[in-house]
Structure 1
């Protein structure tokens, strides 16, 4: 396969690509080891395992059975924690150089996993809800930090060449993580899987150390502000930047509506599957076919199309194709909300986001200043993302009483807003300066200059 051959050639000539791919593989593999545990906690019928006894008693005293609103409560809690942590992350980024705050973020997550290891062994009440929220926070911040760092390591030209391949490494990690969980959970038990995930995060730390010289080298080539010095500025600068800059506002809207269409589809899909496949085995088979198809299509597009589209046409196709595919899918679902069509739309939505939308957005961040790259991007990827999740999980609950067609009809409007936001991003990013052609001709994969080891 030409795509695989080109991938091997790029890996052989680019050690930075190799370490970046290993980094993303390890990060997503570690996350997907945890995700089945998180989902099991979110679907648990044991209220004492999910919620603290005090919260259950408080809700019962007001006539509310908290277990009837498990996902809504957990999504709300996730959003609140994201908002509270944003200034903490802003302070860390502002006051410490890259060589400090990047390892600190991952060391903190490793320490959390060790704490959960003890909590699960002790069967502490409320562990399920706490773990569910923590995994969501971990995923958002760890992946955001990863892509911010990649924008330090690779310039715009190399991002167009490499981001599809790096994304493919993440897809392979997303495939390996659940397989590891399935293979090891019977042997190790649930709690010990937390140590497996911690080991993958330790590999991420090694990759950060190996990639740091390339980040320094890129900054020197392009005369960028060094990430080896503290960034400074306000700890809430990210919020101000998103509000003030048209491109960042457009990116925030793109993510808000992109998450919104996915949340509406995910929740309504659950209701449709419950009606058409009451047998848990049939429902599990349906979901597994979707997940397998998403991963296969994502990997295929990442290896064969993403690089070519980004290099030849820029970010426009990567952002607009998924948006219009989702719009078409919702229009068809409004006319015929059948499980097969739901599955096809779900596959197109998720595969388009992973293989095109995400690399397209991340490429844009290679052309903005470091404060936008770390602070504003963190706001968009965490607060805006979870804010959309929270908004549309409740919107769906309100629309669901009118049936599937009403949900999908509303989804057409959200998908249209997504397409408009994608168009705004494409227009706004054209005003960004391209990095110098001389610098872009420098090989990203060669050995770093001696001075870059600083």
Structure 2
């Protein structure tokens, strides 16, 4: 039924016939990327808790420093590589790193330093692989197309994120962690092949010969653009506030999970099943709600409504500080992020320059995001040092959610009126 409606074009998914192949390949790429990442995500979460909650701010700070290193390297690649080779280089480097981690964890499965190195590496690259994918999407589709098709394309990622933790939960008890690195590497390898197929299939290539050329500028062009562009500064503030919401939820959930589940395997299984539930809800929302809501109301409504729901969630957690409440609020945040906020954030860039899409965007998505994670993690620890319990930090989280709603409205209104 759904396939027939898709093939009819302009039906359930609002995809035109000329866009069908590009959308399907983009869907498949995002599926490969997120299924591969989500195979490893439960491992990352369990390793972070096993290393001690008191060390998580240090992990966040190290991740921020990793972002500072990778962004100029990526900026250099933008200036020297064609578009297809740029994405292929990013994803191929992930494949190589995962193979290295496979051998290292086979040799030293309980090495805490190796676990921390893996946490930092995957926390930097998971943002880069998603951000560079959406830069390509913003380059391939104009704003009108993006409003219609980004929800469908995002559903490919959610389907991958649905399958990834399921694979992880089913395999980890029988094979341990190490083999999962090779399974994930195979998925990223498939993404590399699909990127080249997408670029060769895209009909815009025949009319836009400059699109695949390397971009001009130096590795720090993106940083300078952020410093002098009010819209990018507002977008960075939005990311900063959303990071605060996520970080406070992350610590609250981690503390409760640590007390409820004694070993890494049980925590890995819990996080895997939570991921499975989140992405089941996300894919339905992306397929049937995102495009229709944006088409009717613009991007400002989703960018406001999800932070408002999180504000209400923090209030409920402040009143009932239990593990089930923390997981429930986290699920609302993640479903809202994947189904609405992330696609709408990417739509904001569809009418901007390529330098903003590929260079400035990654400064914010990686350096600002991970810097905000580090800052907010130390802020959370400071709140605890001053005697604030989970209830007190929940009220601070509610304040951050309210501020992010106001910022999201301003960004969305600017885009809708442009």
**TM-score scaled by structure 1?**
0.82
Q: Residue 116 of structure 1 aligns with which residue?
A: 101
Structure 2 residue 266 is matched with structure 1 residue 260: no
Shift of 1:259: 1.7
CA distance in 2, matches of 1:420, 1:210: 40
2:344 is aligned, of 360, 367, 384, to 360
Q: Residue 37 of structure 2 aligns with which residue?
A: 31
Shift of 1:156: 1.8
Q: Residue 51 of structure 1 aligns with which residue?
A: none
Q: Residue 234 of structure 1 aligns with which residue?
A: 218
Shift of 1:113: 1.5
**TM-score scaled by structure 2?**
0.88
- Give the 5 Å matches for 1:4-403: 6-7=5-6, 9=8, 13=17, 14-44=20-50, 69-123=54-108, 125=111, 126-186=113-173, 188-215=175-202, 217-218=203-204, 226-272=210-256, 277=260, 290-400=274-384, 401-403=387-389
Shift of 1:7: 4.6
CA contact (8 A) 2:21 2:201 kept: no
Shift of 1:86: 1.1
CA distance in 2, matches of 1:328, 1:254: 19
Please give the per-residue CA displacement for 1:290-324, whole angstroms capped at 9, x wherever unaligned: 54542232222112210101122221112111121
Q: How has the CA–CA distance of structure 1 residues 119 and 19 changed in structure 2, closer, same or farther, with 3 Å as cutoff?
A: same
CA distance in 2, matches of 1:230, 1:189: 42
Q: Residue 426 of structure 1 aligns with which residue?
A: 412
CA distance in 2, matches of 1:204, 1:389: 28
Residue 297 of structure 1 aligns to a residue whose secondary structure is helix
Q: Bigger shift: 197-206 or 123-132? A: 123-132
CA contact (8 A) 2:34 2:157 kept: yes
Shift of 1:35: 1.5
CA contact (8 A) 2:301 2:409 kept: no
Q: How has the CA–CA distance of structure 1 residues 250 and 17 changed in structure 2, closer, same or farther, with 3 Å as cutoff?
A: same
CA distance in 2, matches of 1:160, 1:363: 7
Q: How has the CA–CA distance of structure 1 residues 195 and 293 changed in structure 2, closer, same or farther, with 3 Å as cutoff?
A: closer
CA distance in 2, matches of 1:364, 1:356: 13
Q: What is the number of residues matched between the two proteins?
A: 406
CA distance in 2, matches of 1:189, 1:293: 23
CA contact (8 A) 2:49 2:254 kept: no
Q: How has the CA–CA distance of structure 1 residues 188 and 203 changed in structure 2, closer, same or farther, with 3 Å as cutoff?
A: same
CA contact (8 A) 1:154 1:218 kept: no
CA distance in 2, matches of 1:252, 1:116: 32
- Which protein has the larger Cα radius of gyration, Structure 1 or Structure 2? 1
Give the aligned CA root-mean-square deviation in angstroms: 2.7
Q: How has the CA–CA distance of structure 1 residues 425 and 164 changed in structure 2, closer, same or farther, with 3 Å as cutoff?
A: same
2:396 is aligned, of 410, 417, 424, to 410
CA contact (8 A) 2:248 2:380 kept: yes
Gaps of 5+ in 2: 10-14
CA distance in 2, matches of 1:35, 1:289: 12
Please give the per-residue CA displacement for 1:28-73, whole angstroms capped at 9, x wherever unaligned: 011111222222332336xxxxxxxxxxxxxxxxxxxxx5633222
Shift of 1:329: 2.2
Q: How has the CA–CA distance of structure 1 residues 108 and 278 changed in structure 2, closer, same or farther, with 3 Å as cutoff?
A: closer
CA contact (8 A) 1:7 1:165 kept: no
CA distance in 1, matches of 2:378, 2:36: 30
Q: Residue 12 of structure 2 aligns with which residue?
A: none
Residue 367 of structure 1 aligns to a residue whose secondary structure is coil
CA contact (8 A) 1:231 1:371 kept: yes
